[in-house]
Amino acid sequence: MRIRKELFADERDDDLAIVGKPVRRQDIEGHVTGRTTFFDDRLVPGLLHIRCVRSTHDHARIRAIDTREAERVPGVRRILRWADLPKKAHNILTIFNFGIDDEPALADGKVRYRGEPIVAIVAESLRAADEAVAKVRVDYDPLPAVFDVEEALKPDAPLVNEYIGRNWFRYWGDYDCQQIRFGDVEAAFRQADVIVEGRYQMSPIEHAPLETQGCIVVPGEDGRFTVYTCTQGLHFSLDNTAAQLRLDTNRLHFIGGTVGGGFGGKVDTVVEPLAVLAAMLTGRPVRYVFTRAEEMQVSSPRGAERVYITDGVTRDGRILARKIVHYHDAGAYSRLSTYGTIKSAAHHPGPYWIPNVWVDSFCVFTNRTPSSAMRGFGVTGGDFALESQMDAVARAIGMDPLELRIKNAYRDGDMKAHRKLTEGAALIECIQVAAELARWPLSEEARSASSRIGGGGDRGRVPPTPPARTRLSDRGEGERGRETSRIDAAERPSARATTPPPSWLRSEARAVEARAVEDGARRAAEGGEGRRREEQEPPEPPRPASGHGALRFSSVFGSRRR
């Protein structure tokens, strides 16, 4: 691999002794000889194992859980239930005062995705744990489920997550999405020669680390718990585990740092809290490691994203306006999707200077495995859409795709859509070098372009921007009220069953998060009031302003001249 030292040489000192050299890794010998110690290499006597009973439904109320037979399996030491949880619902960002505690570590009387843990078996062996799992009887009352992000935003969609209270996350108090407003896209579409529309969709992707996620917890004599873990954020997971268990943080000692593949899949802190809880309740060391099947279908994947892009372009290849509606499929719980949604909005419209930009980025809840971070979080899905769209634009106007990119590339001094000036741009140079490597012919103009020249000036100013707030409908408190009010004392599990009451009836999370739910229930009980709703439609795919003669290219509706 070659470094092109001649580029940006004046911005760099190349007098370093060790930095830049292909120094051998400190840990390479352990890795290549198989001697590196990972969390699961600890030999701990008296280890107990956890396996979870998982939901076989996408969305269901739990009428009863019968664990009597499971308890009689030899070697079963404890069965953890929602009632055992010190904190009834949690989200890993609320330790930073962002987001909503919206996820119970074990089902709270309802399951919201297939694979959701309902009870955790703690046993002397994996075999005993598996046997007990098979003997737990769960009586479900299936509920309608929603899987499509746009379906989920419709007023009559089933409510996925009562802690959130609606099927989308509200930002900054009461904004239905993270929006970017820069210039006037509708006016610019009217100036454009060509309108190009695209719809891009990705599906959930697994991190597929060699080492599935897990941990081993060892209770110490001093009241502390040592947690051998593969987390990607040592203190992050420690603090989140402590918060979930309502433990002082200094009672936890996390040891990790060497991980068998992460790719963003080992941030959620899903295994540690249950394992520490099991160790607390049994006084024994506990191991909780996902099987490959759990890793693939139960642990958070890279979330699916759906992106609609509308571009207004001139015939000579200048993108005048770009409008993006971006849906993030969070699955049933927030995890980190609330964060990724903002990041995706900040990333648009890609590494280009486009004078008019509109972005609506939605975090949407559906009845699937909660998604979370993965390598390129908030960027990969967007870049698939943006860079596919760039080629669609190039085709629509008959322009070379690299020339189009250089022409629109951001340069030093350009104002970005999120209103920060571009510094240190180098997209143009990357295109030039890649073109050279592939012997892709570029025009003289493209070859002589520079990230350091031609930006700024008018391109460095924030254009006049008409205020525009995207609001989804309030979507009928009544329906939400009905939904909630049915889950009521009368339908609570019988005394014989061990199912805890639904969290929103008796949860500490109630103070803030469940308020909307309770309001809905109250109003429904009072009759009628809750049915009042603002008649607003969920967002539609972006559409350019009508009444102009732009040629329209669309992967959504096919090409047509308007």
- Could you say whether residue 194 binds another protein (CB under 8 A)? no
Q: Is 11 exposed, middle or buried (0-12, 13-18, 19+ CB in 10 A)?
A: exposed
Nearer to another protein, 87 or 170 (CB): 170
Site string for another protein, 140-179 (x = CB under 8 A): -------xxx---------------------xxx-x--xx
CA distance 528 to 542: 35
The yes or no reply on residue 236 touching another protein (CB under 8 A) is yes
- The answer to the question of residue 17 lying near another protein (CB under 8 A) is yes
- The nearest distance, CB 147 to another protein, in angstroms, is 4
Min separation Cβ 12 and another protein, Å = 5
Q: Does 387 bind another protein (CB under 8 A)?
A: yes
Q: Could you say which residues in the range 305-334 bind another protein, by CB under 8 A?
A: 329
Residue written as token pair 């109630």: 510
**CA neighbor of 475 nearest in space, from 515, 539, 533:** 533
Q: At what angle do helices 337-347 and 380-397 cross, to 10 degrees?
A: 30
Contact 517, 162 (CB under 8 A): yes
> CB-wise, 73 or 195, nearer to another protein?
195
Q: Which residues of 207-221 are buried (b: 16+ CB within 10 A; e: fewer)?
A: bebebbbbbbbbbee
Q: Which of residues 502-531 bind another protein (CB under 8 A)?
A: none
DSSP code, position 297: H
Cβ closer to another protein: 450 or 485? 450
Torsion, CA 490, CA 494, CA 499, CA 505, rounded to 10: 20
> Cβ atoms within 10 A of the Cβ of 96, count?
10
Q: Which positions from 95 through 134 interact with another protein, judged by CB under 8 A? A: 96, 114
When the beta carbons of 9 and 83 are compared against another protein, the nearer one is 9
Least distance from another protein to the Cβ atom of residue 73, Å: 24
Q: Output 77 or 348, the one with its CB closest to another protein.
A: 348
> Which of 122, 132, 153, 409 is in the footprint of another protein by CB under 8 A?
409
Nearest approach in angstroms of CB 180 to another protein is 4
Quote the distance between the C-alpha of residue 21 and its chain's center.
36
Cα 126 to its chain centre, rounded Å, is: 31
Closest to another protein by CB, 208 vs 453, is 208
Closest CA to 105 of 268, 217, 220: 268
The reply on whether position 399 binds another protein by CB under 8 A is no
Q: Can you tell me the distance from the alpha carbon of 409 to that of 397, in angstroms, rounded to the nearest whole number?
A: 17
**Residue that has been written with the tokens 């992000």 in this structure:** 149
255 touches another protein by CB under 8 A? yes
Binding residues for another protein, rule CB under 8 A, total: 133
Q: Scanning residues 54 to 93, which ones bind another protein (CB under 8 A)?
A: 58
Shortest reach from residue 321's CB to another protein, in Å: 16
* DSSP-based three-state secondary structure for 484: helix
496 lies in the site for another protein, by CB under 8 A: no
Residue 293 in contact with another protein, rule: CB under 8 A: yes
3-state secondary structure 329-390: EEECCCCCHHHHHHHHHHHCCCCECCCEEEEEEEEEECCCCCCECCCCCCCHHHHHHHHHHH
Contact 132, 304 (CB under 8 A): no
Window 412-441: residues binding another protein (CB under 8 A): 417-420, 423-427, 429-435, 437-438, 440
Site for another protein, residues 39 to 58, rule: CB under 8 A: 58
Phi, psi of 153 (to 5 degrees): -90, -5
Whole-number minimum distance, CB 455 to another protein, in Å? 14
β-bridge pairing 356-365 and 319-331: parallel
Q: In angstroms, what is the minimal distance from the CB of 137 to another protein?
A: 23
Nearer to another protein, 204 or 501 (CB): 204
Cβ 497 to another protein shortest distance, Å: 28
Asked if 191 interacts with another protein (CB under 8 A), we say no
Distance, CA of 504 to CA of 487 (rounded, Å) = 9
Question: Residues 264-283 vs another protein: string with x where CB under 8 A?
Answer: x--x----------------
